[in-house]
Structure 1
Amino acid sequence: MDSPVDISVMPAEALAGHVRELGALLHACVQAGASIGFILPFSIAEGEAFWTRAVLPAVAGGGRVLLVARCGGRIAGSAQLDTDMPANQPHRAEARKLLVHPDFRRRGIARALMTELERLARRRGRSLITLDTRTGDNAEPLYASMGYETAGVIPGYCRDTFVDQLDSTTLMYKAL
């Protein structure tokens, strides 16, 4: 029987104490082929550095919210809501880095994280949420099933995680 999933906001103070576990989560996702801005080889130390250098300052500054999903005492997944938008886009937020550890996939964690991101965006007065995903990834139909619409596809947007080729990305949005 699967353990229940608990989703909560992780404040900056707590994030600093969970960098090792979050780095391992990111590492596992990249090793499994997630197209989230990193390519192989990718070390756990690089994963930890990402949380320390990129996410922690944004969360501490209040422009980003970090959600974590815990299952059986482990961090099973995370997602980020970026609300640090330009002055002409105060109505918009961006979903970033939806991660679910390969050991915890197919349990509804990604959907639960996205549902909570949307709730948080609404509470912050946002009426539009945007995201991008590698075209054809497993996340693309998830987003579509949650009401996200495709704005367009950019060919050759990013390097593939495993091989030296360029992949397309799909830009998506949802009116909240």
Structure 2
Amino acid sequence: MTSDDLLVRRAGEDDGEEIYGLTREFALSFRPERAAFQAAYPALLGNPDALVLVACVDGHVRGYLLGFVHLTLFANGPVAWVEEAMTQHGFRRRGLGRALLEEFETWARSRDAGYIALATRRAPEFYQALKYESAGTYYRKVLKTGDHPA
């Protein structure tokens, strides 16, 4: 794939259906539900502290990233967090993930974020190649058990 085939941009309302399809491929712990997605997606697009990016190949969304900037006390200001990053199965290892993260980094810098963090157990070599380093252990406690497979 050439860089001419790939376009990374802010997501728009018209991208919702393709992003929803990717969330269904992404989700391991939760099953995305259309009604919840349709409520959350426009709210995220309108949230000035959230950024939804899409990676398009030949006019179709093949990857997306959802991230936030939020204030902290310990870091003397804002930090950025990647909540979701997904590339469609047949489009991995083609530069989409790198392009999404680089665009998110640009946005986070423009918001004066001190650093970017994310939680994943997948693709450590990918993140290390982009100069991300392991910085801790991720803990979670599921509060909505009805949305989560057994």
Mark yes or no: TM-score above 0.5.
yes
Query: Would you identify which runs of 4 or more consecutive aligned residues in structure 1 move more than 4 Å?
Result: none
- Select which of 125, 131, 136 maps to 1:152: 136
Is 1:130 paired with 2:131? no
- Select which of 104, 122, 125 maps to 1:117: 104
SS in 2 for 1:125: coil
SS in 1 for 2:45: helix
SS in 2 for 1:78: strand
In proportion to residue count, which structure has more strand? 1
Match of 1:9 in 2: 10
* Overall identity of the aligned pairs, in %: 25
Structure 2 CA distance for aligned equivalents of residues 149 and 87 of structure 1: 20
Q: CA contact under 8 A between 1:29 and 1:102: conserved in structure 2?
A: no
* Paired residues for 1:18-97 under 5 Å: 18-30=15-27, 35=28, 37-38=29-30, 42=31, 46=33, 48-83=34-69, 85-86=70-71, 88=73, 90-97=77-84
Deviates further, 93-102 or 53-62: 53-62
Following superposition, the deviation at residue 77 of structure 1 comes to: 0.4
User: Where does structure 2 lack aligned partners over 5 or more consecutive residues?
Assistant: 143-148
Letter in 1 for 2:56: R
State the Cα deviation string for residues 86-140 of structure 1 (Å, max 9, x = none): 4536321111200101121110111111111111111111121111112xx22x2
- Report how many aligned residue pairs link the two structures: 141
Match of 1:107 in 2: 94
Structure 2 CA distance for partners of 1:158 and 1:74, relative to 1, 3 Å: farther
Match of 1:174 in 2: none
SS in 2 for 1:112: helix
User: Where does structure 1 lack aligned partners over 5 or more consecutive residues?
Assistant: 165-176
Q: CA RMSD in A?
A: 2.6
